[in-house]
Amino acid sequence: MQNRKEQHEQMLSMIDDWQSSGLNQRAYCASKEVSYSVFHYWYGLYRKKQSAPGVFLPVKVTSTPSKEQVTVIGTNGIKVQLPLTNQSIEFVKQLLQG
């Protein structure tokens, strides 16, 4: 019998697997012989945790080839462009360090 932590890790792994499968939830659950209601419950917890306030999302920091600005693109697609200055570089560093 699994403890809660193992069960949680297994369900998060299944959610990742489902997201990359291209299947809808019901089809994925049928293919893995997992109860849809159980999967849906765990997916609800996963989504709630992902949208919790105060959670930092990883960002990708890039600069344009002209070196005139810094572009920060979040995993949710939000793009922030800043002029390339020492201050903006320090600001981005502070953001990434939390």
pLDDT at 58: 73
pLDDT at 54: 61
Same domain, 65 and 42: no
Same domain, 46 and 79: no
**38-61 pLDDT per residue, tens:** 998 888 888 887 766 666 667 776
Same domain, 91 and 63: yes
Q: Give the domain range for residue 81.
A: 59-97
Structure tokens of 5? 């932590």
Same domain, 69 and 91: yes
| Mean pLDDT score, 72-89 | 81
- The yes-or-no verdict on residue 68 having pLDDT over 80 is no
Q: Model-level pTM greater than 0.85?
A: no
Catalogue the long-range contacts made by 20-24 (C-beta closer than 8 Å, 24 or more residues apart): none
Same domain, 63 and 42: no
- Average per-residue pLDDT in the chain? 80
Catalogue the long-range contacts made by 52-56 (C-beta closer than 8 Å, 24 or more residues apart): 56/98
85: confidence class by pLDDT, cuts 50, 70, 90: confident
Same domain, 9 and 46: yes
pLDDT at 8: 81
Into how many domains does the chain fold? 2
Helices 4-21 and 36-50 pack at an angle, to 10 degrees, of: 90
CB 73 within 8 A of CB 59: yes
Please enumerate in sequence order all residues whose Cβ is within 8 A of that of 59, keeping only pairs 6 or more positions apart, or say none. Answer: 72, 73, 74, 75, 95, 96
Same domain, 63 and 84: yes
Same domain, 21 and 46: yes
